[in-house]
Chain A
Amino acid sequence: MDSINKAVDPTDISEVEQQLNIFKQVYATSATGSADFIQATQQDNELTYSNVPFRLFLLIAYNLDHEITVHDTAKLIVAGARHEDLSTVLPLDPETKVAIRFQEARVKSGLTEKEIAAKSVELDEYKLIKAEYARIPLSISTWAELFKIIGTKITIDLF
């Protein structure tokens, strides 16, 4: 199926969504070990994670109030390709938005969770990882401590 390997403009929502639907159709109809299936998985991963970092994609998908759809994924890919703020693309709770900002800033800083946890008064590494996936709520002062450790200021729109 040639269309699996078609070049897609990642800033064009209709092209991206159409391509993701092609992958979805392949997953539904092709055998697991077939060339089509394998190529679709590779192209799907490339299109998605080249524009939305793997861990940010997980964080967002994990915290949506519904199963992530093709349309949701397409919106994230387009926003990522346009270097837009991924925390504002889909409806997410404030904790998740802060966690996205934190994860982006932490990756930019080059600091690992372990290094940050070592400097934090309030969190160990295990709790920090959970917080970074918005799996535990943190107080504003704890978030402030974490952002201070990585040397980033943020403004948060809660609504």
Chain B
Amino acid sequence: MRQFDLSTSNILCYNLGMQIKYDQIQIEKFLNKYWPNDLFTLDWNNVLSNSKDPQLFAAFDGDKLIGIVAYNEGIDKTYANLINMEVINSYWCNDVREALLARVIQKSSDICSETYIQVNVKNGDSQFYEDNGGVLFGNRVIFFPSVSQEVIKKYLSR
């Protein structure tokens, strides 16, 4: 039985109708212009400096940074590795997380001939990815190509 996600249940979705923009952004520009940022809980400077060749997509509401996803190439370019994603809680109901995931999937088709996405997750942190079709193997969530295409179809235009 799926657990009810208390973390999202009481979020007031006041951002409906906002024009959210998504951009691929250079790490240096991101750190210079948008970091540090009190709205985020992860230390993204730390995430990026510890990751091998990360790339970034960011989501903006106007000029305000509201979401970040980092990814890189997997071994032998057979998959793309989603390193981490964070979206300000009040934007979860705008499908910003889903839209960022869709952008990583689409971009990964440039890296790999077939679009496999892997996310290494902390114990119990896989719900969002599983809800979007990812399959959990231990601490890995995998998006198979057919599921990846569904995510793109559904969320890339957001």
Q: Does A156 contact B (CB under 8 A)?
A: no
B81 proximity list for chain A (CB < 8 A):
41, 45
A-B contact count (CB 8 A): 81
Quick check: A68 and B42 within 8 Å, CB to CB?
Answer: no
Q: Which residues of A contact B (CB under 8 A)?
A: 23-24, 27-28, 30-35, 37-39, 41-42, 44-46, 49-50, 53-55, 58, 61-62, 67-70, 73, 112, 129, 133
Quick check: B137 and A61 within 8 Å, CB to CB?
Answer: yes
Within the assembled complex, what's the spacing in Å between the Cα atoms of A143 and B118? Answer: 29
Pick out which of these stretches binds chain A: B8-16, B21-29, B44-52: B44-52
> What residue in chain B is nearest A41 (Cβ atoms)?
B120
Q: Which residues of B contact A (CB under 8 A)?
A: 42-44, 46-47, 50-52, 74-76, 78-79, 81, 83-84, 86, 113, 116, 118, 120-123, 125, 135, 137-139, 142, 144-146
Q: A27-B121, A67-B138, A112-B113 are in contact. List 8 more A-B contacts (CB 8 A).
A: A23-B139, A24-B139, A27-B120, A27-B122, A28-B123, A44-B120, A53-B76, A58-B142
Within the assembled complex, what's the spacing in Å between the Cα atoms of A70 and B138? Answer: 8
18 contacts between A and B (CB under 8 A): A24-B138, A27-B121, A27-B139, A28-B123, A31-B122, A33-B46, A35-B50, A42-B51, A44-B139, A45-B74, A45-B81, A45-B120, A53-B76, A54-B75, A58-B144, A62-B137, A70-B138, A73-B138
Quick check: A50 and B43 within 8 Å, CB to CB?
Answer: no
Quick check: B116 and A45 within 8 Å, CB to CB?
Answer: no
The 8 A-B pairs at the shortest CB distance, nearest first, are namely A33-B42, A41-B120, A49-B75, A38-B50, A54-B78, A61-B137, A27-B139, A33-B47
